[in-house]
């Protein structure tokens, strides 16, 4: 599957869940608190979008689902200790800048 297709599918899931509350979401402004407590969209939907985004940046069309679940756990653990931090920054800190 192409990265663009993966990102569009993830966006569809993300926006379908949040469609009643908002029409658009700036992912760079989502805080760890909002991410953990499903205040914007389900945590899994945001995590899938982020995974597609970062894999797209690296032209990676293969996603290891087991590794993705481990990465989500790392991000959630990091976010629990940094609730006011943006989830994008938490991804960088928890997984390293290269993710």
* CB 87 within 8 Å of CB 46: yes
**CATH code, domain with 35:** 1.10.890
pLDDT < 70 stretches in the chain? 1-22, 97-99
Tell me the C-alpha to C-alpha distance, in Å, between residue 24 and each of 9, 13, 21, 61, 82: 15, 13, 9, 26, 25
Q: What is the pLDDT of residue 73?
A: 95
pTM of the model: 0.72
Domain residue limits at 7? 3-95
State the Cα–Cα distance between residues 84 and 63, nearest whole angstrom: 29
Locus of tokens 């991804």:
91
Number of domains composing the chain = 1
């Amino acid at each position: 599957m192409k990265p663009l297709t993966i990102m569009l599918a993830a966006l569809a899931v993300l926006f379908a869940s949040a469609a009643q509350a908002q029409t658009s979401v700036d992912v760079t402004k989502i805080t760890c608190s909002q991410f953990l407590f499903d205040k914007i969209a389900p945590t899994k939907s945001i995590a899938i979008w982020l995974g597609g985004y970062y894999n797209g940046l690296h032209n990676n069309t293969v996603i290891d689902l087991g590794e993705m679940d481990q990465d989500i756990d790392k991000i959630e653990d990091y976010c629990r200790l940094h609730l006011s931090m943006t989830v994008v920054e938490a991804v960088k800190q928890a997984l390293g800048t290269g993710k």
